[in-house]
Amino acid sequence: MIIIPQSDNMIRIVFQPDHARHAAQMIQHWQRPCILPKALWERLITATKHHDDGWHRHKYQPLISDDGCPYSFLSLPVRTHIKYLKYCIESLIKEDRYQAVLVLLHFKYIFSETKSDIKDQCLVDHYLSWTDQQIDLSIARLRDEEPSEYQEGFTRPNLRLAQRIMTFADRLSLMLIGALPWNRFEGSVSYDINDVPLRYKPDEWGVRLDPWPFMDPFFSVNVNARSLSEQHYETSEEFFDVLGAAPTYRITHRMMPYE
């Protein structure tokens, strides 16, 4: 669950699976790199769309802290956070190991990047060790079981490329939603994808990027959200009832090139 403070003592809530679909919309418009077969590209889009499915449990079983505040995904205890990630991975492994590898690489990148900010290092180290084992096993299975025309997509550099595109869309979605602040950056921001830096900066309507990686000259993406008054709750059940009664509305973001 993504919780963003608003004005007038309100909070905006975006469920993680909705954020994941928001990110996947961006990749649907992306100009597919020629080294990634079309069939694998479609599986990358699907992986992005479902990379936060483990958080469905938090959606239907929201947790509150000891002081009665709902937990956002950034404040959730590390042990619970990792549990939701594993739910997602274990489900994907049963469906499609290529999708599972991309999501494993994505989560590994995120944890490796933020590891120094996490207090419970033992839990993170154990999770990253488990992740490495699952990545190696899944890549081996893909090379043994998938058709020969897909094998180039299973090389480490090409898996890294697909993962970085997913991670870029994930991070950009979180910034557009307001879960990650734009104001921590000065001016434009560069993000490296396969050694090509992508610059992006916020715009009043959405975001501008350079070089433009998409097929369309511009397009829009949208995400569902809910608004609640900022308050404390006695139990998770009370918060769930209030959340369920809150109306859903749609936020639209426009994706545009630099001018």
For residue 97, count CB atoms less than 10 angstroms from its CB and return exposed for 0-12, middle for 13-18, buried for 19 or more: buried
Cα separation, 73 vs 238, whole angstroms? 19
pLDDT at 187: 54
What per-residue confidence (pLDDT) applies to 163? 95
Q: What residues of the chain score a pLDDT lower than 50?
A: 186
State residue 2's pLDDT score. 92
- pLDDT confidence of residue 154: 96
Give the pLDDT score at 59.
59
Residues 6+ apart with CB under 8 A from 201: 187, 188, 189, 207, 208, 258
Q: Is the CA virtual torsion 101, 103, 104, 108 positive or negative?
A: positive
- Residue 199 phi, psi dihedral angles, 5° rounding: -95, 140
| pLDDT score recorded for residue 93 | 93
The reported pLDDT for the residue numbered 244 is 86
